[in-house]
Amino acid sequence: MTPTVTEIFAGCGGLALGFEQAGFDTKLLVEYDKDCCDTLKINRPKWNIIHDDIKNISFKKIKTDVLTGGIPCQSFSVAGKRLGFNDTRGTLFFEYARAIKEINPKIFILENVAGLENHDNRKTLTTILNITEDLGYNVQYKILNALNYNIAQKRKRIFIVGTKPNLTFKYPTPNKKIKTIRDVLKNTKNPEYTPYSEKRKHILNMVPPGGSWVDLPDAIAKEFMGKSYNSTGGRRGMARRLSWDEPCLTLTTSPSQKFTERCHPDETRPLTIGEYAKIQNFPNSWKFCGSLSSKYKQIGNAVPVNLAKKIGQQTIKSLQKENDTKR
């Protein structure tokens, strides 16, 4: 039988698409954001998609082999205020735990930013591990860098995996070859992007491929960076131009914010929607709904499809071993 998967906090489909490519039958997707739901529906009209607050949904009648999801990560991100469980988005973990309890899947997979590992002196992660272990799972976690899984992007994420006692899960083996932007930005469609202001364009014209604010004349750098010029960290993303021969920096929800600049290697412009999608491994056929800023946000928050596929393939191996022992 084809293994089944249910996903909550599904976003625009990176994790679901990867699991589909790995061989899973998508049972149900739950997502609160309307644009994400529209994206899912237009690309996979046969998928069962619920657009609602997870707090309103009962999972007691859902039967599925695997439960996946990436709880909203802003609460634990180093780019945010790191409020964790004091933020209403952080408390959504408890809704994920409720879904585990009601569905009782054979395996659950929870994805989040790498900063979750040490958030609040590891108290947040410890709470997550303790709660899921109390639900009857053997739980492990590992931080994976998308760079090592056929993805031209430096993107670290934590994957927490819980298995029933009769199952084992092994994380995918890293690839030896590292992909660069040059390897993936071919035949890119969807040229939408928000142009820079003339002032920002003038500044970025001075930055070489692979460079950043450190390559600007000192007086211009001071004016552009303001108070950040004298800070001790978190500045390297400012006035950052990508390089063809390197992987992309972590894609954020906007490529043109001052601290998360993702300027094209040759042209003085942010990466387009199509380029964003290609770096996240979405096929050219995958359409994104909503405003331009919404599309960037959807793609920037997604799990890279190739990484999701690798995780899905390892999950299927775990389920197959269970079936083998029953024979």
Domain residue ranges of the chain, discontinuous segments joined by +: 4-173+304-326, 181-299
Residue 73 has a pLDDT of 56
Q: 145-158, pLDDT tens digit by residue?
A: 999 999 999 999 99
Torsion angles phi and psi, residue 260, rounded to 5: -130, 45
Residue 83 has a pLDDT of 42
Residues 294 and 298: their CA atoms lie apart, in Å, by: 6
Residue 88 has a pLDDT of 43
Residue 188 has a pLDDT of 87
Residue 77 has a pLDDT of 41
Residues 134 and 117: their CA atoms lie apart, in Å, by: 19
Residue 206 has a pLDDT of 97
Residue 323 has a pLDDT of 64
Choose among 162, 282, 78: nearest CA to 272: 282
The catalytic residues are 73
Amino acid letter, 116: L
Beta strands 138-145 and 156-163, pairing class: antiparallel
Residues 194 and 269: their CA atoms lie apart, in Å, by: 8
Residue 257 has a pLDDT of 82
In this structure, are residues 304 and 14 in contact, taking their beta carbons and an 8 Å threshold? Answer: yes
Residues 109 and 271: their CA atoms lie apart, in Å, by: 30
CA distance to 15, 188, 196, 239, 319, per residue, from 248 (Å):
20, 16, 20, 14, 34
The 8-class DSSP code of residue 199 comes to H
Identical fold between 4-173+304-326 and 181-299: no
Domain 181-299 has CATH 3.90.120: yes
CATH of domain 4-173+304-326: 3.40.50.150
Residues 310 and 7: their CA atoms lie apart, in Å, by: 17
Low-confidence ranges of the chain (pLDDT < 70): 73-90, 233-234, 323-327
CA angle centred on 37, ends 16 and 303, rounded to 5°: 35
Amino acid letter, 174: P
The encoded tokens of residue 276 equal 């964003």
Secondary structure of residue 100 in the 3-state scheme: helix
CB under 8 Å to 192, separation ≥6 — which residues? Answer: 272, 273, 274, 292, 295
Residues 327 and 114: their CA atoms lie apart, in Å, by: 39
Q: List the beta bridge partners of residue 5.
A: 26, 66
Beta strands 107-113 and 156-163, pairing class: antiparallel
In this structure, are residues 296 and 276 in contact, taking their beta carbons and an 8 Å threshold? Answer: yes
In this structure, are residues 4 and 103 in contact, taking their beta carbons and an 8 Å threshold? Answer: no
Q: 83-92, pLDDT tens digit by residue?
A: 444 544 447 8
Residues 98 and 21: their CA atoms lie apart, in Å, by: 28
pTM surpassing 0.85? yes
